[in-house]
Structures are given as structure tokens and as C-alpha cells.
Amino acid sequence: QVQLKESGPGLVQPSQTLSLTCTVSGFSLTSYSVHWVRQHSGKSLEWMGRMWSDGDTSYNSAFTSRLSISRDTSKSQVFLKMNSLQTEDTGTYYCAREDTMGITSWYFDFWGPGTMVTVSS
């Protein structure tokens, strides 16, 4: 069955770099795109970026200068790297699989359980 699972450090110091891994199973990264979405505690969801199935990437311009998404298809993993972390980056980070019913109609049909990241010294 389709599964996604995020993993990461939990605690990151301000100004440091966050590195997260999304490990997927039940589908191929060359067939489906995977997105990163974050959620501040008690707040709404914020789309960060996407790894397309063809290996291309796209980012929310709010993060462009400090966000990078990559993948290792042999390990079925998608990576998120974000630098210059601040306390406002504290939250839960999710990876989600994209499904589509046509151009511009992309939605997230499976989500990982999320990984909590705290930015604090």
C-alpha cells in the first residue's frame, strides 16, 4: 500500500540548515510527484514545493531563496533542505503524494504522518 514517512532532526538551531527525508513505498517516484507542506502549530497548511515525477522541481516563492528539494529514486526518498532557519520555521513538516485529474487539478491523495521541527537555541 502507499506510504510516506518523514524523518528529520526534531531540533534545529537558528540560522542552521534543516534536512528532512521523505521515504515512500507502494509507488514509484518516477510515476508520481511528491510535495512538501508545512503547518505551524494550530495553524493552516503552507505549500513549500514539489519534486516532479520527471525530476524537475518547483517552489513556493516564499521559500525559493533558501529551499531545495531533491530525490534518490533508488532509495525511494525525497529530500528537503532549507537554510537560514528562524523560530518562525517551527512546525510540522509533511510530505504528500500528488495525484491529478488534469492540468492544474493537482491534489494530495496520501500524506505522511509528519515530522515536528523545532527551531530553538
Give residues in contact with other proteins (CB under 8 A).
Answer: 35, 44-47, 58, 60-62, 94, 96, 99, 101, 104-114
Rounded CA-CA distance 53/115 in Å is 23
Q: Phi first, then psi: give them for residue 75, nearest 5 degrees.
A: -105, 5
Closest distance to other proteins from the beta carbon of 47 (Å)? 4
Closest distance to other proteins from the beta carbon of 100 (Å)? 8
Planar angle of CA 11, 27, 114, nearest 5 degrees = 20
Closest distance to other proteins from the beta carbon of 51 (Å)? 14
Rounded CA-CA distance 111/121 in Å is 30
- Closer CB to other proteins, residue 16 or residue 47? 47
- Closer CB to other proteins, residue 65 or residue 74? 65
